[in-house]
Amino acid sequence: MCHFSFEGRLIYRGKWCLVEVPKDVINYYIKTIYSVWGIKLNSSYHGAHVTVVDGRREDASRHKLWGTNHGKKVLVEYSEIRNKSPYYTGEYWWLKVRNTQDFSNIRVMLGLPEKLFWDFHITIGYNNV
């Protein structure tokens, strides 16, 4: 399977820790999904991102290492487009993240479990069905 990569920035925002995805990367997939499947996507609340700490389900914002490496560039490797999340109403579209160890290490450093509720992924957007 073919993998792709980009450099994103690690961002701490409220109770969330995210990696921002460059707009050109995500715009490519938004256009592809529209031209192949005819589906127009809405942006997620945080825009295109990789969630490292999910501020809705966990709070590490008071940890003494919270904010460490804010703004640091990190490599994100990803592959295939996926959709149909069982966790939400509507259809979320995302890309599977392949190199997850750095993100797991950040979580452990902040006193959280290695894994999120779901696999690490790049949220592209969603459509209401």
pLDDT digits (tens, 9 = 90+) for 49-102: 898 999 889 999 999 999 999 999 999 998 877 765 545 455 778 888 888 888
Q: Which of left, alpha, beta for 75 (phi over 0: left; psi -120 to 50: alpha)?
A: beta
- Classified as helix, coil or strand, 53 is strand
Rounded to 5°, angle at Cα 109 from 105 and 113: 70
- Report, in this order, helix, strand and coil percent for the chain, each rounded to 5: 20, 35, 45
| CB neighbour burial string for 34-63, b if at least 16 within 10 angstroms, e if fewer | eeeeebebeebebebbbbbbbbeebbbbee
Model confidence at 117, pLDDT cuts 50, 70, 90, reads confident
Please report, rounded to a whole number, the percentage of residues in the chain having pLDDT higher than 90.
Answer: 42
CB proximity list for 59: less than 8 A, separation 6 or greater: 15
pTM, rounded to two decimals: 0.82
